[in-house]
Structure 1
Amino acid sequence: MNDVSLSRRKSKYTPRTVPVSEDGSKLTTSAMIASLDAEGRETVAAPFGHALVDLAKTRDDIVGLTADLLKYTDLHVFAKAYPDRFYQMGMAEQVMISAAAGLAREGFTPFATTYAVFASRRAYDFICMAIAEENLPVKIVCALPGLTTGYGPSHQATDDIAIMRAMPNLTVLDPCDATEIDQATRAIADHPGPVYMRLLRGNVADVLGEYGYKFKLGKAQMIRDGRDVLFVSSGFMTMRVLDAAKRLQADGVDCAVLHVPTIKPLDMETIAAEAAKGGRLVVTAENHSITGGLGEAVAAVLMRAGVHVPFRQIALPDAFLDAGALPTLHDQYGISVDAVTASVKAWL
């Protein structure tokens, strides 16, 4: 082996570096962040779990399953209230999905919970063949979406929307906060087909309640209007752009925020109509890879509708992301309020 090939072989497996502070100490974090974006905000504890319990009071078809992640998907609230309607499947996501499909065939409405990486990667074929192709009413509710954990690529579901939105028959949701998680859980229970829903768990910030927001499956909704910039956002990035809009307002930049909780089916009519108003800069914002998510979906809508406006994306890079403290990572990858504000100022 020559020196050049030896050099290439050595450099191919360069180990990851551990982030350190100015004094040289390692930056650490708890991966199971319970309260994302909750500092200084009103929060609601386990909104998904409590909504499911409330549904089960009047619907005996509601059952819950998890793949060894009872507490970390907030399903422990349901399991405590209805132990005879809860199934602990262990670390076997494919088995859980297959069991959920069987329950759905027997007339139940199963809510199957795990982490987003495990549903979208490990169990994809089982979801496709056992649930989506058969159009069964299984609700797959997944915690740790996008960059909501510091554990690194094994737990960061930065590509789950790209994976799931390509699956026929599957509705894909990315709710913003506690208000929307509660309302969306009730809505998908009534939806006749399969659903994949991202989940913020633990003590979840309540942001949309102050705007009088009411979730509507398949609909985008204007949270605030503005003349200069139109944010089109989903998930917790709607919290971020609402905060950024307030900061930009102080600098004379008037921002609208169009919240898009349903990624599939996408509300193409509303998105195209709002983007066509007044020549605003359109900025999509998502807690997902820049590849295959909301931003690219919106860009396709605008092109097909003949809406030609300035367009930018705020999203995670097409890469395996670092591990570390979430505030540091959010700054690093451009999805913090500071980063969003700076990006918009640079684009105007």
Structure 2
Amino acid sequence: MRRLHNFSAGPCTLPLEVLETAQRELVDYHGAGMSLLEMSHRTPPVEGVRDAAEAALRRLLGLGEHHHVAFVAGGATFQFAMLAMNFLTNGRLGDYTHSGAWAKKAIADGRKIGRVNVVWDGTPDDYMTLPDPASVSSSAGSQFLHLTSNETIGGVQWKSFPACEAPLVADMSSDFLSRPVPLERFGLIYAGAQKNIGPAGVTVVILTDDMLAACDGDLPGYLNYGGHVQNRSMLNTPPVFQIYMVKLVLEWLEARGGLAWAEQAAAERSGILYGVLGGSDGFYRCPVDERYRSTMNVVFRLPSEELEKRFVAEAEAAGLSGLKGHRSVGGIRASIYNAMPVAGVEALAGFMSDFRDRNG
């Protein structure tokens, strides 16, 4: 079997062990006589998968009884609107930071529903930097302060977080469970699974008692966080197989040491690539402020677009897949999520050095 090194920003690479487990269990799930894909979501095996996924998440993050977990369809993009519908109706105010492409989308959807105040805007710097977290504060009466913890397209990552009066809300899709976070500052966290913890089709939402109590209860059922929490993510037929895959990935992460291991591994992987960039005498150029460079999405440019096209094509031929930068910004992007083995990063680093020697 030939496995490529998948550097795509999402769907992400998944642990080989997880894929092999899913393969073994696909046709006959734990002796049930049918696949998990065929089972009613009201059956004990499916409820057990959902409960095990939540339990693993709680252990990894150290969630207490005042935190609630929901598995919701629609991706993080759906959360942009769902968040605003729950907390910004009836004239309520939300604060947002504008750090790049995904923050921009969250702000746009928020403005369609309620009052939005942008407390920091990275537009003048082309979203290549972030503010000192100590300089960011919430507005009087704000329901939350929203940030995108890691901009997948721009390669900018918050290294620490503001401490302000309003609870933080974060889109953590592309660095979820890659490091410990000060959970006490966050009222709500959401993360599309396909960038770090599973396949596309499910989003993890974590929220506190206070945030749950502040939800707009007049919303239709599926749009209300309360309905998902009260029904334990079984308000309707959930994305069962995706939740199952998330469960397997979370258990895989636990077995390796949890968030402490993930943080160390992320530093090692990204350090290898940023080292190649820094030692290339300008052949490779990373435009992101060094203080806020992502450990998940390493973005860089070459001297010309022609060389970038050649780089992507030759890398693909060498088994290094998904390196083309997002269509909105171009360049090269290597996404190195939790499941990316160090060997994959070392292979890319070797290719980069060789490519520079041949084309520099």
Fold-level match, TM-score > 0.5? Answer: no
The TM-score range, normalised by the shorter chain, is 0.3 to 0.5
Larger relative contact order (CA 8 Å, sep ≥ 6): 2
| TM-score normalised per structure 2 | 0.36
| TM-score normalised per structure 1 | 0.37
**Greater fraction of residues in helix:** 2
